[in-house]
Amino acid sequence: MKLDSKVPSGPIEKRWEKHKFDMKLVNPANKRKFKILVVGSGLAGGSAAATLAELGYDVHCFCVQDSPRRAHSIAAQGGINAAKNYQNDGDSVYRLFYDTVKGGDFRSRESNVYRLAQVSVNIIDQCVAQGVPFAREYGGLLANRSFGGAQVSRTFYARGQTGQQLLLGAYSGLNRMIDEGKVKMHTRTEMLDIVLVDGHARGIITRDLVTGDIKRWAADAVVLASGGYGNVFYLSTNAKNSNVTAAFRAYKRGAGFANPCFTQIHPTCIPVSGGFQSKLTLMSESLRNDGRVWVPRDKARATDPPRTIPEEERYYYLEERYPSFGNLVPRDVASRAAKKVCDDGYGVAMHEVDGQRNAVYLDFSAAIERDGRDAIADRYGNLFEMYERITGESPYETPMRIYPAVHYTMGGLWVDYNLMSNLPGLHVLGEANFSDHGANRLGASALMQGLADGYFVIPYTIGNYLATEHAGPVTESHPAFEAAESEVRTKTQKLLALSGTTPVDQFHRELGKIMWDYCGMARTAEGLNKALELIPALRERFWKEATVPGNADELNPWLEYAGRVADFMEYAEMMVRDALERDESCGGHFREEHQSEEGEAVRRDDEYAHASVWEYQGEGEKPKLHKEPMKFEYVKLTTRSYK
């Protein structure tokens, strides 16, 4: 596997400009002759499909939901970062770049991050022009708020549903192109394989989730924007249909998978309440702007009503341990701190899970006293209502109880500066790729990256591929399509042949428990080695004991799900392997063997300042590790401190 990052030379602020000029263009009249398949319709896929169609390409877009508007980007609450400096508080492209590289704990590619910060300003312009109703001040100009890991207010937001509003913007752009006949949209359609011809990605195989039809799609390039793999943990804040299948099947065809162990545990989620729980709900990080995190200093008072605990007996552990960032430390730091106080016995959850009360308070009483209930309702009203609907408690009256949960995955398919994987023609955008967030993503940066990739990067870089490397027409009758389709059919039949008595759901829960216990917020070599024994054993049981009802030629949600869980069970092993191999702590990857006396993550830059890229070696074989060194020319490698 060749890993050429194709990062341009020269000063970092000129690289993207220079690269845009150096890239070859496709003649406007020729663009319509190129067919591009976009898999996924979230912020990255939706914006890419719309923009590529505007340029004149023949675009087909696929999503598993019944409408592109339902992609999981829709659930993002808090906001989107941009270096607009509308607040005059010292923000700049360079500062956003600096914060993101540092926030990612020095495991991302500087040039990509700089470009992300540069185009961030265009994203806001684009969204406003589409009619996205961002929050505004009384003077009519755009409002901002702060987010974890930053000391400036650069986050744009639309109450607690920024994701939905941005996605509706991208969706409206997509609708406009569908209306003009330039995008063909395929809803309830799942990509089940990618087809390579002479080493280039030249198409996909899909299953129509309503009729069960398996179909071949030949094209000139493929764009994967299929999201992250957080559901490998079963319980996460991801939507139930989010899965790793598209990315994992690309990996099995030879695409390198980078840093799978980098997963983000979000600090502010509603705690687990029972064994039946099907998903976890996030409470936006923006709440930490006004909410103060604490637990009682006296363990014996953990179950007392929080309002009865006097101020001096409250342990505001983030404010005490990190005086300069306080409650706004980055997510990984806040999550580990919450885990530590709960492990130490200070947790305040209503329910015990595995003998622990895993929750801490997020308290708004000081903010309500300071700004008034109305001001707080204006900022967080819908989040407070959501919390109350789920827990039955009102955050206006009593502190929220929160605990970290799996939220986002920084790892993903390896891509170069052009967002192309090592398989020519296969481009990967958004959460599905690995490049911009390093070992930890800062809040409000996922929406920024998805839209940056889709609106402002891929429209330029895909043209360069088509103009320089692309190798002429291919049709669906090519033997490679025949072979891939037959593999997909065999796999489908193998799943339907499962006639045990255990629902697939149960295997997914067990897998999630293994991953959370051994590859979650804190990891050890011993635990990871144990997971490497447990996962294959679970997989073996799955193929013996699971049951999948129904037929291939009908709407069959259990068949879809079984395929995704089967992939997760293979994927989990690679993730654990990566976590074991990365013998350091960085960002969301915390190896207990590597921590300071105060329990902070200790990186080992001399050995691990690289992306670990895994190459598939065949069924049951250990994947091969490749490394792309991460060089830091601008942001000096330092220990991250938020004290």
Partner 1 sequence: MKIKLNVWRQSGPKDSGGLKSYDIEVTEHMSFLEMFDVLNEQLLKNPSKHPEGPVAFDHDCREGICGMCSMVIDGVPHGPNKATTTCQLHMRSYKDGDEITVEPFRAKAFPVLRDLVVDRNSFDRIQQAGGYISVRTGAAPDANAIAIGKADADDAFDYAACIGCGACVAACPNASAMLFVGAKVSHLAKVPQGQVERNERVLRMVDTMDGEGFGGCTNHGECEASCPKAISLDAIAMLNSELARAAISSAK
Which residues are tagged catalytic?
A: 331
Select from 87, 92, 151, 273 the one that contacts partner 1 (CB under 8 A): 273
Q: What's the closest the beta carbon of residue 517 comes to partner 1, in angstroms?
A: 22
- Contact window for partner 1 (CB under 8 A) among 21-29, 129-137, 324-332, 534-542: 129-137
| CA–CA separation, 261 and 264 (whole Å) | 10
Q: What's the closest the beta carbon of residue 142 comes to partner 1, in angstroms?
A: 6
Select from 80, 93, 96, 178 the one that contacts partner 1 (CB under 8 A): 178
| CA–CA separation, 219 and 216 (whole Å) | 10
Whose Cβ is closer to partner 1: residue 92's or residue 547's?
A: 547
Who contacts 533 (Cβ-Cβ below 8 Å, separation ≥6)?
Answer: none
Select from 27, 30, 32, 137 the one that contacts partner 1 (CB under 8 A): 137
Q: How many residues bind partner 1 (CB under 8 A)?
A: 83
CB 498 within 8 A of CB 547: yes
| Site residues (CB under 8 A) for partner 1, limited to 187-246 | 187, 210, 237, 239-241
To 10 degrees, the CA torsion angle through 145, 146, 147, 150?
150
3-state secondary structure of 142: strand
Select from 39, 96, 124, 444 the one that contacts partner 1 (CB under 8 A): 124
CB 596 within 8 A of CB 632: no
Whose Cβ is closer to partner 1: residue 238's or residue 422's?
A: 238
3-state secondary structure of 183: strand
| CA–CA separation, 481 and 216 (whole Å) | 7
Give the helix, strand, coil percentages of the chain, each rounded to 5. 40, 15, 40
Q: What's the closest the beta carbon of residue 280 comes to partner 1, in angstroms?
A: 9
Select from 134, 229, 317, 590 the one that contacts partner 1 (CB under 8 A): 134
Q: What's the closest the beta carbon of residue 431 comes to partner 1, in angstroms?
A: 15
- Report how far apart, in Å, the C-alpha atoms of 217 and of each of 55, 204, 339 are: 21, 5, 47
Whose Cβ is closer to partner 1: residue 121's or residue 532's?
A: 121
| Best CA proximity match to 165, nearest among 200, 207, 209, 135 | 135
Select from 87, 151, 172, 524 the one that contacts partner 1 (CB under 8 A): 172
| Best CA proximity match to 394, nearest among 306, 315, 327 | 306
Q: What's the closest the beta carbon of residue 348 comes to partner 1, in angstroms?
A: 17
Residue 75 interacts with partner 1 (CB under 8 A): yes or no: yes
For CA atoms 535, 540, 541, 545, the dihedral sign is positive
Residue 463 interacts with partner 1 (CB under 8 A): yes or no: no
Q: Which of 611-639 are b and which e, b meaning 16 or more Cβ less than 10 Å from the residue's Cβ?
A: bbbbbbeeeeeebeebebebeeebbeeee
Select from 37, 49, 101, 158 the one that contacts partner 1 (CB under 8 A): 158
3-state secondary structure of 614: strand
Residue 28 interacts with partner 1 (CB under 8 A): yes or no: no
Whose Cβ is closer to partner 1: residue 106's or residue 233's?
A: 233
| Site residues (CB under 8 A) for partner 1, limited to 302-361 | none
Window 601-630: contact mask with partner 1 (x via CB under 8 A): ------------------------------
Instruction: Determine phi and psi for 280, rounding to 5 degrees.
Output: -110, 145
| CA–CA separation, 224 and 412 (whole Å) | 11
Whose Cβ is closer to partner 1: residue 276's or residue 619's?
A: 276
CB 576 within 8 A of CB 265: no
Q: What's the closest the beta carbon of residue 73 comes to partner 1, in angstroms?
A: 10
Q: What's the closest the beta carbon of residue 567 comes to partner 1, in angstroms?
A: 18
Q: Which residues pair with 632 in a beta bridge?
A: none
| Site residues (CB under 8 A) for partner 1, limited to 424-453 | none
Whose Cβ is closer to partner 1: residue 330's or residue 404's?
A: 404
| CA–CA separation, 512 and 272 (whole Å) | 14
To 10 degrees, the CA torsion angle through 18, 20, 26, 31?
180
Residue 69 interacts with partner 1 (CB under 8 A): yes or no: yes
Select from 16, 34, 57, 65 the one that contacts partner 1 (CB under 8 A): 65
Q: What's the closest the beta carbon of residue 54 comes to partner 1, in angstroms?
A: 5
Who contacts 37 (Cβ-Cβ below 8 Å, separation ≥6)?
Answer: 59, 60, 61, 62, 203, 204, 217, 219, 221, 222, 223
- Contact window for partner 1 (CB under 8 A) among 95-103, 341-349, 524-532, 553-561: 553-561
| CA–CA separation, 308 and 273 (whole Å) | 24
Q: What's the closest the beta carbon of residue 358 comes to partner 1, in angstroms?
A: 15
- Contact window for partner 1 (CB under 8 A) among 98-106, 248-256, 386-394, 477-485: 386-394
- Contact window for partner 1 (CB under 8 A) among 105-113, 175-183, 364-372, 429-437: 175-183
Residue 389 interacts with partner 1 (CB under 8 A): yes or no: yes
Whose Cβ is closer to partner 1: residue 146's or residue 556's?
A: 556
- Contact window for partner 1 (CB under 8 A) among 91-99, 387-395, 576-584, 611-619: 387-395
Residue 381 interacts with partner 1 (CB under 8 A): yes or no: no
- Contact window for partner 1 (CB under 8 A) among 145-153, 170-178, 295-303, 530-538: 170-178
Helix H or strand E segment including 534: helix 525-545
Residue 131 interacts with partner 1 (CB under 8 A): yes or no: yes
Residue 92 interacts with partner 1 (CB under 8 A): yes or no: no
Residue 68 interacts with partner 1 (CB under 8 A): yes or no: yes
Who contacts 308 (Cβ-Cβ below 8 Å, separation ≥6)?
Answer: none
Q: What's the closest the beta carbon of residue 372 comes to partner 1, in angstroms?
A: 17
CB 375 within 8 A of CB 308: no
Select from 86, 98, 316, 543 the one that contacts partner 1 (CB under 8 A): 86
Select from 108, 111, 164, 421 the one that contacts partner 1 (CB under 8 A): 164
Residue 392 interacts with partner 1 (CB under 8 A): yes or no: yes
Q: Token digits for 356?
A: 């622990």
3-state secondary structure of 499: strand
Residue 456 interacts with partner 1 (CB under 8 A): yes or no: yes
Bridge-based pairing state of the strands 221-224 and 35-39: parallel
Residue 497 interacts with partner 1 (CB under 8 A): yes or no: no
Q: What's the closest the beta carbon of residue 236 comes to partner 1, in angstroms?
A: 11
Residue 240 corresponds to which amino acid? K
Cβ atoms within 10 A of the Cβ of 529, count?
13
Q: Token digits for 190?
A: 């799942």
